[in-house]
Amino acid sequence: MDELDLLKKDWNKKPENKKLTAQDIYPMLQKKSSSIVKTLFYISIAELVFWTLINIIPYFTSPAYRTQLDNVYTNKFVLVLINVISYAIIGLFIYLLFKAYKSISVTDNAKKLMESILKTRKIVSYYVIYNLSIAFISMVVGLYFGIKHNPEISAKLEHSSNYEIFVIYGFLTIFTVVFVLLLWLFYKLIYGLLLRRLNKNYKELKKLEV
């Protein structure tokens, strides 16, 4: 039970006070919403650092990984462009979350706070959809070109039966789907939990507007 629920429970014990006023509830909702968006902001930064390390460390520590990457992205310009666009979008997401946090922190109007909460929910939803889409596309493209430009794998596939090829591509498809599903579960667990709390605050604010 959070601070607001405790306050309501304590308030309801007092017969002379039938309900909390907007002036009583709003500061708490604003503080809670600001804290949630701040947490989302920090998580997004941690996620950026995590994926950056995941990409950088193997590249500089594993010659095999660099070779495989070169096989997939034969055009270095394309690789650089993809990275620039990806990090630019993540950077934009972090910036928008920071703006949402600042907006929620300074607003003194319930309607504006509700608008900021809705905007934050949209930002996070679009970001999750973007990341899942990019993860799926990257997996498909990476596996396709990794197989196509790898002489050993290509040679084995040429001498494989239709059934063996079906099994191989079936396994790769399942692997891709499972990876994206795990990523979706991660976002649902981390971002989804915080968004549900933010949505709860939105509903409380909506009651104040009635």
Among residues of the chain, what percentage have pLDDT more than 90? 3
Task: Give yes or no for residue 143 having a pLDDT over 50.
Answer: yes
37: in domain:
yes
Task: Give yes or no for residue 112 having a pLDDT over 60.
Answer: yes
Q: What is the pLDDT of residues 169-183, one digit of tens each?
A: 888 889 889 989 998
Length of the chain as a residue count: 210
Range in 55-59, 75-79, 123-127, 196-200 with the lowest mean pLDDT: 75-79
Q: Which of 175, 193, 194 is nearest to 135 (CA)?
A: 175
- Report DSSP letters for 105-163, one per residue: HH---HHHHHHHHHHHHHHHHHHHHHHHHHHHHHHHHHHHHHHHT-HHHHHHHHTS-HH
Q: Based on the structure, what is the number of domains in the chain?
A: 1
11: in domain:
no
What's the domain range around 141?
A: 18-209
The two structure tokens encoding residue 17: 């006070």
The answer to whether the beta carbons of residues 33 and 113 sit under 8 Å apart is yes
Q: Mean pLDDT score of the chain, rounded to an integer? A: 78
89: in domain:
yes
202: in domain:
yes
- In one-letter notation, the amino acid at residue 132 is L
92: in domain:
yes
- The residues near 210 (Cβ < 8 Å, ≥ 6 apart) are none
Task: Give yes or no for residue 68 having a pLDDT over 80.
Answer: no
Sign of the four-CA dihedral 61, 92, 206, 110: positive
- Report DSSP letters for 7-33, one per residue: HHHHHHT-TT--S--HHHHHHHHHHHH
Quote the pLDDT of residue 32: 87
112: in domain:
yes
10: in domain:
no
